[in-house]
Amino acid sequence: MSPLKETIGQTINLIQDGKDIFSNQYVILTLTFAAFFYIRRLQQRTGWMLLNPILIAIVLIIVYLKVTGVSFEVYKQGAQLIDFWLKPAVVALGVPLYLQLDAIKRLWFPIVMSQLVGCLVGIVSVVLVAKLCEAPPVIILSMASKSVTTPIAMEVTQSLGGIPSLTAAVVVITGIIGALVGFRTLSIGHVSSPIAQGLSMGAASHAVGASTAMAYSSKYGAFASLGITLNGIFTALLTPTVLRLMGII
């Protein structure tokens, strides 16, 4: 073999090895956790709301995939352990919820009613805005369940004939916006009760809002997780009926 061919062959092997490294499951997991962890540390030090770890981590991972040429399918397969641990993480929210059981029993009626109203306002408001913007029906169907956690939202959208992938993107954006401005908005509205704030964050911005609430205290996080649960149930049950009454379906 000539020296030139040997050099070309070695270069191709190095490029291939580099691609294998970039798409390695442990490299992908390390990158994802490191991006979230260090951006979160930076946000805690600076106090800047725009340094949301989820938002910045998404941007960094998109840049990584574009630069390295790794496909999203490969990334998703490498990061499947994160998906796996999301389920027990959600179940773990039941621990602080259990610690607030006495308060929940005492206030069960206003809690349920507030979540019912919050669910209806969430659905009706996004449908009205979409209609004012002359969005096609399929887009409206895909956005109606924007305030609930992704698995529930995608199931609701699929049953309505919407676009589940669009719903997932809207849900993430809703959660990030809630995490960025949720507590400040509640403060401007003079909502000072930890129970009301937690429920509002969970109902309006699902798991992302709950994680932000949990950073304040376990009490905030407990009621945020309750808001996620109740709003998810109401949204799954009422969305088709609300859309039918509004003439969308």
For the cut 80, the answer to whether the pLDDT of residue 238 exceeds it is yes
Q: How many domains does the chain have?
A: 2
pLDDT digits (tens, 9 = 90+) for 186-198: 888 888 888 889 8
Structural domain span for residue 22: 3-86
- Say whether both 136 and 33 belong to one domain: no
16 vs 94, higher pLDDT: 94
Helix residue ranges, H only, the chain: 3-22, 25-46, 53-68, 72-78, 80-92, 94-99, 101-106, 108-132, 137-143, 150-160, 164-188, 194-216, 218-245
The per-residue pLDDT for 116 is 93
Question: Is the Cβ–Cβ distance between 143 and 123 less than 8 Å?
Answer: no
Domain boundary among 52, 86, 120: 86
Residues 80 and 110 occupy one common structural domain: no
Residue 58 burial by CB count (10 A; 0-12/13-18/19+): exposed, middle or buried? middle
Tell me the C-alpha distance between 150 and 153, whole Å. 5
pLDDT exceeds cutoff 70 at 8 = no
162 shares its domain with 239: yes
Q: Same domain for 53 and 143?
A: no
The verdict on 80 and 98 lying in the same domain is no
Structure confidence at residue 113 (pLDDT)? 93
Rounded percentage of the chain residues whose pLDDT exceeds 70: 90
Lowest mean pLDDT among 57-71, 89-103, 186-200, 231-245: 89-103
Long-range contacts of residues 29-38, Cβ cutoff 8 Å, at least 24 apart: 29/78, 29/79, 29/81, 29/82, 31/60, 31/61, 31/64, 32/57, 32/61, 32/79, 32/82, 35/60, 35/61
- What pTM was estimated for this model as a whole? 0.74
Give the per-residue pLDDT at 19.
Answer: 55
Are 81 and 100 within one domain? no
Residues 112 and 227 in one domain: yes
Q: How far apart are CA 234 and CA 113, in angstroms?
A: 11
Specify whether 147 is located in the same domain as 229.
yes
* 107 & 223 share domain: yes
pLDDT tens, position by position, 24-65: 788 888 888 888 888 888 887 887 777 778 888 888 888 888
Task: Give me the mean pLDDT over the 178-185 stretch.
Answer: 85
Query: Cα torsion at 103, 97, 151, 41 (round to 10°)?
Result: 120
Indicate whether 65 and 169 sit together in one domain. Answer: no
Mean pLDDT of 99-115: 89
Q: Are residues 101 and 68 in the same domain?
A: no
pLDDT digits (tens, 9 = 90+) for 145-170: 888 887 788 888 888 888 888 888 88
- 169 and 70 together in one domain: no
